[in-house]
Amino acid sequence: MSTNRRDFLKTGATAALGLSGFTLITPDVLGKSMGYVAPSDKVNLACIGIGNRGNEIIKALHKTGLCNVVALCDVDMGAKQTLEVMNMFPQAKKYQDFRKMFDEIGGEFEAVSIATPDFSHFPVTMMALAEGKHVYVEKPMARTFLEVELMMAAAKKNPKLVTQMGNQGHSEGNYFQFKTWKEAGVIKDVTAITAHMNSRRRWHGWDPNISQFPAGEAIPDTLNWDVWTSQAQPHAFNKDFHNGQWRCWYDFGMGALGDWGAHIMDTAHEFLELGLPYEINPVKLSGHNSFFFPMSTTLEFKFPERGTMPPLTITWYDGLDNIPAVPDGYGVSELDPNIPPPSNGQIQPAKLNPGKIIYSKELTFKGGSHGSTLSIIPSEKAKEWESKLPEVPQSPSNHFENFLKACKGEEKTRSPFEIAGPLSQVFCLGVLAQWTGLKLEFDRETKQITNNAMANQLLMGLPPRKGWEEFYKV
């Protein structure tokens, strides 16, 4: 029912009963006061990618009570990982090709959620924005620097459309704490950040002496491999490209950096106004090859002065044997307490959960991943600052509510493309340094790599597969 018709029925009924000056309490108003949202007031949502991580996103969006799931799309529709969501929404229309979904029922939804592999975020997002749909897309935004640039341009061209990247920490405690502490001057003059993710990855245990991609296998009956491939270069199907295994390969995924970087670096990147680095240096690449990600990686991202803020270097560590040193007074909450600290004050832990250490001229902060809040270390310094810390506001909405409320005009998204895009491009540059093994010198103004012509060409990625060129037009 349209807003005009709803308003007409309210005012018409009031006038007919001679009750001018009174407000007619309708069932939908009564329901709202009790936490109920009428279906007509919900966002009609189409979900692309419904298995695995897509399953979790769809359930989280649905749990808000702010959306109607009207369409489901997955290239492997009917496979085991898609059945739970299919059974949850039996009335939703089902598709294997997102292009066909837009063509046939594009007028039946206002927003999309996208939880496809990293490389295929791009074409779905570009079509959604071109068709006037709000977009929730998993992190990172895309696989190549150019694709992220085009996604930002498409969003800017359609400013009434809401965009949100799925780094949920942007709607949790860490976001509001970092923002408040930065504005209050608690976090200032940051010169270095250690970011670390040292858990086992899918490719650990593979042979880095690989000389070709794995051999083709029979395509499962439920899978449309052609649509799965989308704009990427053609590959014969192999189980190690599918169901999350795509994260391992440069052709499809973004490795540990793209997977976890957005949950670890995001608030520092936004509130310290880092933008793009001027240098990316692959300090360590153990097990380096041209096909899948290294067994261990250390990357330096160097950022210049920004206004009154000093230059800053983020050092990224991944790999089981590549755990960074932590400062004296770090604590034992995320370390193996059986490892005694060395006398030099730099502890080399045996185990370290994903997170970060932020070094400023005066204070050092320890933080985890996603929404985990920061603490000042060592504990003596934390006690000294305890009474001086500002009150941190609570989040008014989780990341999924924030997106849907923004679609309804009630909030602004906290991770829109203009914020999430440069962060995603940091990861694109980092992955390019991993892939090529080259130190990259980057011009932040022209957005060009200046010290290697081949690497500069790779900012654009390989040409799209024939038939998918249209998505590269804004």
Instruction: Give the strands of the sheet with 43-48, arranged side by side.
Output: 93-95, 67-73, 43-48, 111-114, 134-138, 163-166
Residues 265 and 353 in one domain: yes
Q: For residue 411, tell me if it sits in a domain.
A: no
Residues 29 and 66 in one domain: yes
Range of the domain at 106: 23-169
Residues 260 and 192 in one domain: yes
Q: For residue 433, tell me if it sits in a domain.
A: yes
Q: For residue 7, tell me if it sits in a domain.
A: no
Residues 135 and 265 in one domain: no
Count structural domains, the chain. Answer: 2
Q: For residue 402, tell me if it sits in a domain.
A: no
Residues 111 and 236 in one domain: no
Digit-by-digit pLDDT tens for the chain (474 residues) are 444 433 433 333 333 333 333 333 443 444 444 456 777 899 999 999 999 999 999 999 999 999 999 999 999 999 999 999 999 999 999 999 999 999 999 999 999 999 999 999 999 999 999 999 999 999 999 999 999 999 999 999 999 999 999 999 999 999 999 999 999 999 999 999 999 999 999 999 999 999 999 999 999 999 999 999 999 999 999 999 999 999 999 999 999 999 999 999 999 999 999 999 999 999 999 999 999 999 999 999 999 999 999 999 999 999 999 999 999 999 875 666 676 665 555 677 778 999 999 999 999 999 999 999 999 999 999 999 999 999 999 999 999 999 999 999 999 999 999 999 999 999 999 999 999 999 999 999 999 999 999 999 999 998 999 999 999 999
Residues 97 and 158 in one domain: yes
What pLDDT, on the 0 to 100 scale, is given for residue 36? Answer: 65
pTM value? 0.90
Q: For residue 13, tell me if it sits in a domain.
A: no
Q: For residue 14, tell me if it sits in a domain.
A: no
Residues 348 and 443 in one domain: yes
What pLDDT, on the 0 to 100 scale, is given for residue 348? Answer: 75
Distance CA 236, CA 229 (A): 10
Q: For residue 318, tell me if it sits in a domain.
A: yes
Q: For residue 146, tell me if it sits in a domain.
A: yes
What pLDDT, on the 0 to 100 scale, is given for residue 256? Answer: 97
Q: Which of 117, 139, 169 is the C-terminal boundary of a domain?
A: 169
Residues 147 and 205 in one domain: no
* Residue 61: CATH number of its domain: 3.40.50.720
Residues 163 and 177 in one domain: no
Residues 300 and 447 in one domain: yes
Q: Which of 169, 197, 228 is the C-terminal boundary of a domain?
A: 169
Residues 205 and 104 in one domain: no
Q: Which of 169, 197, 222 is the C-terminal boundary of a domain?
A: 169
What pLDDT, on the 0 to 100 scale, is given for residue 10? Answer: 38
Residues 267 and 194 in one domain: yes
